[in-house]
Each structure stands twice: as C-alpha cells, then as structure tokens.
Amino acid sequence: MRTLSYIVAIIICLNAGAQNVDVRLLKTLNARQMPQWDAGMKGVSYAPYAVMPSAIAATWAHGYFNKDKVMMRNGYKSAIAVGLAMITTSGLKIAINRTRPFKEYPNDITLRVKEPGPYSFPSGHTTSAFATATALSLSYKKWYVAVPSYLYAGFVGYSRMRLGVHYPSDVLGGMAIGIGAGFLTWWVDKKVNGL
C-alpha cells in the first residue's frame, strides 16, 4: 500500500511544479542538432530489445554448459524480472496516459526517431535496460558486470530523452521499475525457496 502512495505522490508532483524542472531539463538534453550523435543514440535506444533476451539466454546457457543449477535458475529469474518490469510499465503507461514531450511541446522538443506509441510515463526502453542490468548484477555479483550493465542502462535512458520521446521523470520511473522488479524477483525467490 505504501508503494502505491509513493506512485500517486510522484504522479501529483509531475502534474504540479515539478513538471517545469522536468521540461527544462529535457529541453537542455534535447537541444541542438547533432546528426551523428543522434544516429548513435537511435542505435542505443533500440538495443535493449536485442540485449534483453540475449542477456537472459546467456545467463541460462552459462549455467547449462557449466552444469551450474544456480546460474540456470538466475536465467529463469532474469526472464521473470524483465517480464514483471515490462508488464508493470505497460500497465502504468495506459493508466497514467501521459502525453509524449514532443507532442506536448512541439516548438521546444525535437523528435529524432520514428514516432513512438502515445504514452510517455514510464519509459519502457529504460525499464527493460535497468531490469536487465539488475538481473545481470544479481546473477553474477561482480563489479565488472554491474558497472558496465548499469552504465549501458543509463545511456539508454539518456538516449530516450535526447531523441525527444521521454521526460527525465519517465526515465527515472523506468529505472525504478526495472531495478525494483529485479530485486523483488530475487527477494521472492529467496523467501519461497530459501536460495
């Protein structure tokens, strides 16, 4: 119940004065034409939907080929965490129904990709990137896995703002959902199975 209260408080803040900060920050991140940089950002932006299943499959395969049941289980948990994150994000997008920034501020925000779906909050690309980064970090528990994973996920979030399709708060929401789904999945597994 407390989590629901936090979500409602965030939504109220978004619709009040906090949105001004959100818009100003987005205008800064989206400003100026940089064609080569933006082409790279398009690649970063769409990569999570290839990286996500690859990371899950690689985790499971690592366990399978090394006869490591814990790592195989981590592959399954990774799939559950990412699935939970994406279902949550999809539901929130429809429930909150926030307009994309390039539509809300067409004179200030430049759309730099093919027009996406209508809903802005939270960022699905960011959610999937952070859910994947969290699953990899919890599976391997090594800094040299966690640091690049989270840096990449952060870069995905930045790309969504740079391309004009999400507000910073959309990206923060995606981060929270992705990370939360990972930790929740591992916590439930530990409580239920004692692992």
> For 49-93, how does the pLDDT look when each residue is reduced to its tens digit (9 = 90+)?
899 899 999 999 999 999 999 999 999 999 999 999 999 999 999
Is 84 a member of any domain? yes
Range name among 6-10, 78-82, 167-171 with the lowest pLDDT average = 6-10
pLDDT of residue 2: 59
Is 7 a member of any domain? no
Is 11 a member of any domain? no
Is 54 a member of any domain? yes
Is 1 a member of any domain? no
Which two tokens mark 168? 């910073």
Q: Report DSSP state, residue 67.
A: T
Is 118 a member of any domain? yes
Is 158 a member of any domain? yes
How many domains, in total, are found in the chain? 1
CATH number assigned to the domain comprising residue 147 = 1.10.606.20
- Which residue, 72, 6, 73, 47, is CA-closest to 133? 47
Q: Report DSSP state, residue 112.
A: -
- Full domain range(s) for residue 55: 38-193
- The whole-number average pLDDT for the span 106-132 is 89
> What does pTM read for this prediction?
0.85
